[in-house]
Amino acid sequence: MSLRDAYRQKFEAQLEEANARLSILKARAKRAAADGRIFAHDELGITEEKIAQLKSKLKELGGASEGAWEELKVGIEGAWSELSTAARKAAEKFNSEPDTGEPKKATQVEPS
């Protein structure tokens, strides 16, 4: 085997290693994207539920008698508080990175 062939084999092997690392990175990116969609679905679903509850309370308020509106007012204020809390929590979670248990640094593909 010539020195030229040995160098070629060395770089072919390094290329295979780099390709394998790239495949791992692509799989991790796919998983992170799926995790993000699941996370968004859960958090946004909670907030949407709170909005629906508040809309229902406001509809009740529109048809409430003079005596019942004070009681509904308390319910609406509670629903608003829950909506605000859910929206704040969702925003905080979207602004922070979810803990996946994986290292925070991406594996770099470098020639050896």
- Indicate the pTM of the whole model: 0.51
Residue 112 included in any domain? no
Residue 104 included in any domain? no
Residue 54 included in any domain? yes
Q: Which domain holds residue 75?
A: 3-95
**pLDDT for residue 107 is more than 50:** no
Residue 50 included in any domain? yes
Residue 101 included in any domain? no
Residue 102 included in any domain? no
pLDDT given at position 30: 93
CA distances from 62 to 19, 56, 80 (A): 64, 10, 16
Residue 109 included in any domain? no
What's the helix, strand, coil split of the chain in %, to 5? 80, 0, 20
Show Cβ contacts of residue 106 under 8 Å, excluding neighbours closer than 6 positions.
25, 28
25 vs 40, higher pLDDT = 25
Average of per-residue pLDDT values in the chain:
81
Residue 107 included in any domain? no
At residue 100 the predicted structure's pLDDT band, cuts being 50, 70 and 90, is very low
Mean pLDDT confidence for 60-74? 81
Domain count, the chain: 1
Spatial CA neighbour of 27 closest among 19, 16, 38, 15: 19
At residue 97 the predicted structure's pLDDT band, cuts being 50, 70 and 90, is low
Spatial CA neighbour of 95 closest among 27, 25, 43: 43
* Distance in angstroms (rounded) separating the CA atoms of residues 87 and 85: 5
